[in-house]
Amino acid sequence: MGKALTFKENITIDLLDGFQKMTEDDFKEKNFLTRPEYIFTNKENVYIILEAKERKKRNFPENLKKTYAVIKRITPGFKGLGIARKTINDIEVGALQYKSNTVTDELYNIMMICHVKDTQLMVSGHCLWGDYGKWKPLFFEMIETIREDSKKHGK
């Protein structure tokens, strides 16, 4: 695993090796609709996007389904690959997987959502559909590193 990233001083995840923060020039060239809080890429043009927001955890299973439904409505070429839930290091984690299209390519996408206290962390990974077999297990390996930074909370 690569470097550890901590969000809102209470939730940490390890980035995959070989990923660098995307430069502003690269970001503009890729025509993203919005600017994520953190976006990383590697030499293989794989993206990892991380965003942390203050948001209270409500009915988690229902919110995962609603988020998946929204993604389905707004994503070109959406093909659902499923919703998974798991507890990792005492944190309930949801993973939404789907296939999508760009103008020139088909992509594999995974979005992980979890809450620690009043912080919601969303981590998404995106790669070419043809590279799905290589990157899917690596994205899940990264998700398995999620943890609460208890040192900052007196535990």
In the chain, what are the domain boundaries? 4-148
Kindly report, residue by residue over 81-114, the tens digit of the pLDDT.
Answer: 999 999 999 999 999 999 999 889 999 999 999 9
CATH architecture label of 4-148: 3-Layer(aba) Sandwich (3.40)
The answer on pLDDT for 147 being more than 70 is yes
Q: Cβ(40)–Cβ(152) under 8 Å?
A: no
Tell me the C-alpha to C-alpha distance, in Å, between residue 62 and each of 66, 67, 85: 6, 9, 12
Strand partners, 92: 87
- Between CA 110 and CA 83 the distance in angstroms is 10
For the entire predicted model, the pTM comes to 0.88
How many percent of the chain have pLDDT more than 70?
94
